[in-house]
Amino acid sequence: MQPRTDLPPSLVSAPFTLGTAKASGIPPNRLRRADVGHVSRELYRPAGWSFELEAAARALSEASPGAWISHVTAARIRSQILQAWLADSNELHLSKPDGLPEVRRRGVIGHSVLVFEDEIEIVDGIRISSRSRTWLDMARRLSESELVCMGDELIRVPRVEFEGRTRPFDTVEGLCLLVARHPNLQGVVRARAAIDRMRVGADSAPESLLRLAMEDAGLPEPELQVALRKNDAAGPTADLGYRHRRLAIQYDGEHHLHEAQIFSDKRRNKAFEAAGWTVLVFGKKDFADCFDGAIRQIKRALRTSRLDHPQASGFADAL
């Protein structure tokens, strides 16, 4: 049978390895034509291909035995929380165990690291670091508050009806054990500090950052996912708040701009107000302001609450 010279659809739509081309009956000399670009060792791409991170990572993983996709590349593929300056990054990061030769590929950022078997997974054919290991790898690059946001997402209790899972990606205890395995990893001190400030209950990065801004301003740590009625999981909840001061704090992101969600939010807030709570709602403008204005409003609301409830204590010094 003569070897084929036309590229099959699978090799026209995404990067591919030399092994994949051979398995498709494409001879090596066919890959020197103008419609194929040589990326690096045993790795090719169609000449007209528009870069797509997951496809590039899949081919890179296939072409790199013993290595795995890591760092910001892994975080992006898994849609983990990243701040705006990294959210659109097209960097390709590849890690190898520290006992193997260093990664040397054009356009690829290589890492040689100590790794344990349960810190690497295979997802949709891509050998990739686990979500938790990705979080730890990012500790060398992210600030403490950015690591807290990323970690809060890992330990958050999921909503089954929206996410199809019942367990968090990890726990505080699990992250502590992971960090303890890698005492010499660059960024590990920052990772330890971030774990101390992580909390279960934050549903978004802005909620985490608002909580951290409150703590940095000297305010007492708020409760998260505060139910209007205790032990009523189906009732209205506030993103953050102080139950004994009847103060509910909401962060409404962009999805709260949809008509149905606006109606639901109004009904939620009215339920709190009818029960005698003060409701503060913050959004994108407050986030852009680093929550400076929000902190002033929260302090004002707590001072008013102290006047209404003089028996409450523990806040005076913070306000």
CA-nearest of 89, 239, 229 to 152 is: 239
Q: How far apart are CA 16 and CA 295, in angstroms?
A: 52
Across 87-101, 183-197, 199-213, least confident range? 87-101
Q: How far apart are CA 250 and CA 282, in angstroms?
A: 6
Prediction pTM value: 0.85
Q: How far apart are CA 42 and CA 44, in angstroms?
A: 7
CA distances from 260 to 219, 228, 256, 284 (A): 34, 21, 8, 19
pLDDT at res. 11: 86
Q: Give every CB contact of residue 180 below 8 A, 6+ residues apart in sequence.
A: none
Work out the average pLDDT over 154-167.
88
On whether the CB atoms of residues 95 and 67 are closer than 8 A, the answer is yes
pLDDT at res. 299: 96
Instruction: Please name each of the domains of the chain with its CATH number.
Output: 1-50 (no CATH), 60-200 (no CATH), 204-319 (3.40.960.10)
* 93 class by beta-carbon count within 10 Å (0-12 exposed, 13-18 middle, 19+ buried): buried
On whether the CB atoms of residues 298 and 239 are closer than 8 A, the answer is no
Encoded tokens for 43 = 């790795």
CA-nearest of 210, 191, 214 to 202 is: 210
- CA–CA–CA angle 156, 208, 234 (5° rounding): 50
Q: Pick the more confident residue, 311 or 207.
A: 207
On whether the CB atoms of residues 150 and 138 are closer than 8 A, the answer is yes
CA 155, 157, 160, 161 torsion-angle sign: negative
What does the CA dihedral 125, 129, 134, 136 come to, rounded to 10 degrees? 170
pLDDT at res. 239: 96
Q: Tell me: the pLDDT tens digits for 228-252?
A: 998 887 789 999 999 999 999 999 8
pLDDT at res. 255: 58
Q: How sure is the predictor about 308, in pLDDT bands with cuts at 50, 70 and 90?
A: low
On whether the CB atoms of residues 16 and 39 are closer than 8 A, the answer is no
When computed from its CA atoms, the radius of gyration of the chain, rounded to whole angstroms, is 25
Work out the average pLDDT over 69-93.
94
Q: Tell me: the pLDDT tens digits for 252-262?
A: 876 555 566 77
Q: How far apart are CA 264 and CA 256, in angstroms?
A: 9
Q: How far apart are CA 295 and CA 219, in angstroms?
A: 9
